[in-house]
Chain A
Amino acid sequence: MMNEQHITDQLWEFHLGNLSEEESQQVQLHLEVCEACLRESEVVKQAVQEMAVERSQEVPPFLFTRIQGRLESVRKPAPLWKRTLVTSLGTILLLVSIWGGVKLGTMDVRQTSGTSLENPMGNLAINEMVNEPIEGYLFDFN
């Protein structure tokens, strides 16, 4: 007899409406006389209701547009010929830049040496420290 044993195992299915009419009636009869099961039944009922509220939430609109936005950054890679072309052009550009840099560097050295010939005071600032070391100032008590 159901009234003699607790029915806590059936409570979820009871509140989900998955029991047969006969089973439901038996559960209801038991709940009328068993306070312990009634208390658990209330808790399960509230949980089932709460889940129903969450389940009823609709997907926010324009989901596909948001997905499309995300996909823009992860689109399938371009064809091989395109990637090869871009890589080659990039490499050529890099080599030309390096070559240009070297060329400019050599020109600069020549120009600098020309300037130092015209202006012998050009490197004075660097050589100053050699001629008058800093210790000279620090220990010069006179």
Chain B
Amino acid sequence: MDEKQLVIDLQAGDEKAFRHLVGKYQQQVFRTAMGFVHDGSDADDIAQEVFVEVFRSVDKFRGEASLSTWIYRMTVNRSLNRLRSRKRKGFFQRIEAFFQDDADWTGEPEADCSIHPETVVGNQEMAQALQQALESLPENQRTAFVLYHYEDMAYKEIASVMKVSLASVESLIHRARKNLQKKLMNFYKK
């Protein structure tokens, strides 16, 4: 089924077409969301939200960008929103813990989560370090990095999803890598 026909069928409310769309794009949506949230259940939740939004707003799709670009944009936005709400939750949890003076609170990892050089870095720790380093990146750098490294997207496609120039994508990915390297090296040095 070609994309144009798929859009027409979706706009007509065809359930078969919608099922086809979910099957076609579910792995991409899930993988992109994973790149942002690093949690299977959150990524699954985001995937559901994205497809519900596609179903609800397919009437507004004008075909200015490709269907996959449109879906990627939604996924990125939903994932960034999820991270923002996580941050807000973390902030309120910290305030709550401060006022409760609760010793057993475990909402945020302790500041000293460094690994000594002689210790072999386990997968779990590396995963955590990478997540923290990624989360500390500015949103545009993170988006470009995730689309490139998790989705194998070409710079041109990333530029289209992010609505920026090709040169900007190159620069964003370069800066994201530099920042990540710096942060991960600091993590190991501690």
Interface on A for B, CB 8 Å cutoff?
Answer: 8-9, 11-12, 16, 39-40, 43-44, 46-48, 50-51, 53-55, 57-60, 63-64, 66-67, 70-71, 74, 76
A43 close to B150 (CB less than 8 A): no
- Taking A39-B188, A59-B44, A60-B40 as known contacts, 16 extra A-B pairs with beta carbons closer than 8 A to each other, sorted by chain A number, are A9-B177, A16-B149, A43-B184, A46-B121, A47-B130, A47-B180, A47-B184, A50-B123, A54-B127, A55-B34, A60-B44, A63-B30, A63-B47, A63-B48, A67-B22, A74-B52
Q: How large is the interface on B (under 10, 10 to 19, 20 to 34, 35 or more residues)?
A: 35 or more
B127 close to A8 (CB less than 8 A): no
Q: Which listed residue (A48, A55, A57, A70) contacts B52, Cβ 8 A?
A: A70
Q: Which listed residue (B43, B48, B174) contacts A67, Cβ 8 A?
A: B48
B126 close to A50 (CB less than 8 A): yes
A47 close to B26 (CB less than 8 A): no
Determine the residue in chain A with the shortest Cβ distance to B127.
A50
Determine the residue in chain A with the shortest Cβ distance to B41.
A60
Determine the residue in chain B with the shortest Cβ distance to A48.
B149
Chain B CB within 10 A, most for which of A53, A63, A70, A74: A63
Least distance between A91 CB and chain B CB atoms (Å) = 29
A71 close to B55 (CB less than 8 A): yes
Residues of B within 8 A of A16 (CB): 149
B185 close to A40 (CB less than 8 A): yes
**Cα–Cα distance between A11 and B44 once the two chains are bound (Å):** 32
Residues of B within 8 A of A43 (CB): 181, 184-185, 188
